[in-house]
Chains A and B, each alone.
Chain A
Amino acid sequence: MANIALSSPGQRLSRWINQEHVFKLILVAPLQVLMWAILIVPTLLVIYLSLVRWEPILGDWTQAPFNWFGNYVKVLTDPRFWEVLGRTLVIVFFAVSLEFLLGFALALFFSQDRLPGKRLFTSIILYPMMLPWVVVGFTFYLLFLDRGPVNYVLIQLLGPGAAQPWFKEPPLAIGTIILADVWQWTPFMFLILYSGLGALPREPVEAAMTLGATRWQIFRLITLPMLKPVIIIALVIRALECFKIFDLVYIMTGGGPGTSTESLSLFIYRTGFVYGQLSLAAAMAVLLLISIAVVTRFAIRPLEYREEV
């Protein structure tokens, strides 16, 4: 390409703008600005906030007295904090396990041949994921009303005593939340596992058949191991999302009865934005960030070894 001496400023600008490093810069600039403004600075801010003692009513935040690790101690010694954390983990455990098992069963079921209308069914199954969480929460709230359809069906099936006061007993209330989450997110597991199953190469399975393996053996020795990376990713993503659960709890139980169904996000929200104890909330937030980063690092480990294949 001949480099002709250009004289007009417009041409000089366009030549400059086309240089590779300028090009790259402009492409990434909006992202960088955004990340810094809305992410990095607030992260620094939250660390700062966690180290001071401040509430909005106290006035200027830049003048707040340093409390150093006082907030952290307060959080970590608060039994309610641990209770909430434990409860959230319980919800995550049960919800994600159920979603995984059901999603896998669905994926296997729909991976068969000779199922007419597969397209239609899969698109019906996928839509719960799209619904706003608040709507799902409200829908399930309606379903589990004392005089609602769920109790009605239970009474029909199991007799008059089977109706439950769903939102008045903590274990039941947690159960409804888990059920709502499972209803909404099993399709997610289904989607990932179904795609994974579909992407598996057919020939090793056929080879296993010619070698005499039964369908169950093929599933156990060939299909599952090959799906391992996909399964891990699906579980990690869903578990992380589920851990943040907020909308469902807010709408369905409001954390009640009392505070017995509060999830971690809801608890932090209340602490910071309802009770106004922003410093405590900040400390919790920092703890959360650190622990999630650590957990994810370890969860992704089994995948890293695969990359070298």
Chain B
Amino acid sequence: MAETAVTTPTVTSVARPRLSARAWVGTLLRLLVAVGIAIVFLLPVLWMLSISFKPPTEWLEYPPTLIPKEPLIGNYTFLFNPGNPEGAIAVMTGAAEPVMPAFINSLIIAPVATVFSVIIGFLAAYAVSRFRVGGNFMPFFTLTTRMFPPVAFAVPLLVYYSAVIPSVIPGLRLYDTRLGLILMYIAFTVAFALWMTKGFIDGVPRHIEEAAILDGASRWRVLFTITLPLVRGGLAATTLFIFILTWTEFLFALIFTQRYAITVPVQVSHYAGAIGRFYGPQAALGILASLPVVIAGYLIQRHLVTGFTFGLIRE
């Protein structure tokens, strides 16, 4: 190729890497800012974590320090056995209850409610997605359960649970029972389950199912052996999400439990509202209460970031 005379600076043929020093400084700055942001979001919980391992002498010490000087697990053991405080933990006044029953309740209520909510939601979502049951109105309608303040439903529900149901089905107690809470949780999370799983079901091409039907498979079989495996990931994400909702729910638990069916959040409120200061065990309880959902959250966060635009962005 002929090179015509052009006033270019000396043409270099040496391959020069593009990443200059300026780019590296920029990346470093960005990294620092990111770390700063991460710290802001970690600090409060770190603080609580720190208190949970501190002995009572350090709870209110000033200036406050992040690392306990004499860390101990006494706060945690106290939660399960407040009657016999270990070592330096002294009980101030009576509102300390063992937390085990609350954990057992939550560990039963949350998973059970979640599973049923997802199943019911999934089945209904399939009907809506494939057969347009309820028209375009249906998913929105069920979302109203999330739109309105729970307290608005709690008022009639209390009457419902304590007066109506027992008169309709004699002997069926729902107030202050696990069953009562489970039913309520299912009802109020199923909208989400429906909405989320519908999105995933919509993503399964119909012709796969139609081919199976033409081959003679029954609709039930198609649903369980073809569609279900394909939305497995979405179902898992939905399950974890609803688990978080049911585990952390407070208002209904507060209103509809008294002694027997107390859940972990209610337990936390008992501890938090206790007279006298025992921040250590309170903090420890907070940490324990958060563990299941943090783990669940970690498992779904991969799914979370990818698809939250509700189909509104046009490609």
How far is B269's CA from A135's CA once the two chains are assembled, in angstroms? 9
Q: Which of B123, B265, B310 is the one whose CB lies under 8 Å from A27?
A: B123
Given known A-B contacts A38-B157, A131-B248, A112 and B304 have beta carbons under 8 A apart: no
Q: Which of B128, B152, B218, B289 is the one whose CB lies under 8 Å from A135?
A: B289
Mark out the residues of chain A between 201 and 226 whose CB falls within 8 Å of any chain B CB in the assembled complex: 201, 226
Given known A-B contacts A31-B124, A130-B294, A195-B306, A46 and B156 have beta carbons under 8 A apart: yes
How far is B184's CA from A60's CA once the two chains are assembled, in angstroms? 24
A-facing mask of B260-283, CB < 8 A → 1, else 0?
000011001100110000010011
Q: Does A125 lie within 8 Å of B37, measured CB to CB?
A: yes
How far is B302's CA from A62's CA once the two chains are assembled, in angstroms? 52
A-facing mask of B14-39, CB < 8 A → 1, else 0?
00000000010011001101100110
Q: Which residue of B lies closest to A187 (CB)?
A: B41
How far is B157's CA from A116's CA once the two chains are assembled, in angstroms? 51
Q: Which of A116, A122, A246 is the one whose CB lies under 8 Å from B31?
A: A116
- Looking at A46, A152, A201, A309, which has the most chain B CB atoms within 10 Å of its CB? A46
Q: Does A195 lie within 8 Å of B187, measured CB to CB?
A: no
Given known A-B contacts A191-B308, A273-B255, A132 and B264 have beta carbons under 8 A apart: yes
A30 to chain B, nearest CB (A): 4
Given known A-B contacts A135-B286, A148-B64, A121 and B37 have beta carbons under 8 A apart: yes
A214 to chain B, nearest CB (A): 18
Q: Does B149 lie within 8 Å of A31, measured CB to CB?
A: no
Q: Does B298 lie within 8 Å of A39, measured CB to CB?
A: no
A-facing mask of B35-63, CB < 8 A → 1, else 0?
00110011011011001000000001011
Given known A-B contacts A265-B149, A281-B155, A195 and B30 have beta carbons under 8 A apart: no
How far is B45's CA from A269's CA once the two chains are assembled, in angstroms? 29
Q: What is the size, in residues, of chain B's interface with A at 8 Å between Cβ atoms?
A: 98
Q: What is the size, in residues, of chain A's interface with B at 8 Å between Cβ atoms?
A: 103
Q: Does B194 lie within 8 Å of A192, measured CB to CB?
A: no
A-facing mask of B133-151, CB < 8 A → 1, else 0?
1100000001011111111
Q: Does A142 lie within 8 Å of B51, measured CB to CB?
A: yes
**Does A167 reach chain B (CB closer than 8 Å)?**
no
Q: Does A254 lie within 8 Å of B265, measured CB to CB?
A: no
Chain B residues within an 8 Å CB radius of A289: 148, 152
Q: Taking chain B's interface residues, is the majority helix, strand, or loop, or is none over half, making it mixed? A: helix
Q: Does A149 lie within 8 Å of B164, measured CB to CB?
A: no
Chain B residues within an 8 Å CB radius of A67: none
Q: Which of A27, A128, A149, A306 is the one whose CB lies under 8 Å from B41?
A: A128
Q: Does A230 lie within 8 Å of B312, measured CB to CB?
A: yes
**Does B247 reach chain A (CB closer than 8 Å)?**
yes
Chain B residues within an 8 Å CB radius of A264: 149
Q: Does A133 lie within 8 Å of B250, measured CB to CB?
A: yes
B44 to chain A, nearest CB (A): 5
* B positions within 8 Å CB-CB of A: 23, 26-27, 30-31, 33-34, 37-38, 41-42, 44-45, 47-48, 51, 60, 62-64, 119-121, 123-124, 126-128, 131, 133-134, 142, 144-160, 163-164, 183-184, 186-188, 190, 194, 216, 218-220, 244, 247-248, 250-251, 254-255, 264-265, 268-269, 272-273, 279, 282-283, 286, 289-290, 293-294, 296-298, 301, 304-310, 312-315
A-B contact pairs, 11 of them (CB 8 A): A18-B220, A43-B156, A49-B156, A115-B30, A121-B34, A183-B44, A247-B251, A247-B265, A268-B152, A285-B151, A285-B156
